[in-house]
C-alpha cells in the first residue's frame, strides 16, 4: 500500500478512513470496526507483496525482456 509522506495528504487519508469506519455517523469508531479495517489492510498489503514478488519472478523468467514467457524460456535456478 502506498503511503504519502505529505502531511496534508495523510490527514485527508485519515479523514477518509475515519469516515468509512464511522458507519453510523456518530463521530466514533468502534473497536470492532477498527480491527476489521486493520485485517483488510493486512490482507491487501500481503496481496500487494505477493503481486510484487510475482512480477519479480516473471521478470527473471522473461530473459529477453519482451514481456512474454514461453515454454521454451529457460529458468535459471542459480545452481
Is 76 among the domain residues?
no
Q: Is residue 39 part of a domain?
A: yes
Specify if 50 maps to a domain. yes
Domain interval for residue 55:
27-64
Average pLDDT of adjacent 10-residue blocks, the chain of 79 residues: 66 82 82 80 84 85 81 57
- Distance in angstroms (rounded) separating the CA atoms of residues 49 and 57: 12
Domain-embedded: residue 35: yes
Q: How many domains does the chain have?
A: 1
SS (H, E, C) 55-78: HHHHHHHCCCCCCCCCCCCCCCCC
Report the predicted TM-score, pTM, of the whole model to 2 decimal places. 0.40
Amino acid at each position: 500500500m502506498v503511503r504519502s509522506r505529505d502531511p496534508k495528504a495523510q490527514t485527508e487519508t485519515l479523514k477518509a478512513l475515519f469516515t468509512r469506519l464511522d458507519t453510523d455517523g456518530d463521530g466514533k469508531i468502534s473497536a470492532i470496526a477498527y480491527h476489521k479495517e486493520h485485517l483488510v489492510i493486512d490482507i491487501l498489503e500481503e496481496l500487494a507483496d505477493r503481486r510484487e514478488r510475482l512480477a519479480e519472478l516473471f521478470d527473471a523468467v522473461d530473459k529477453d525482456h519482451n514481456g512474454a514467457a514461453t515454454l521454451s524460456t529457460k529458468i535459471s535456478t542459480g545452481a
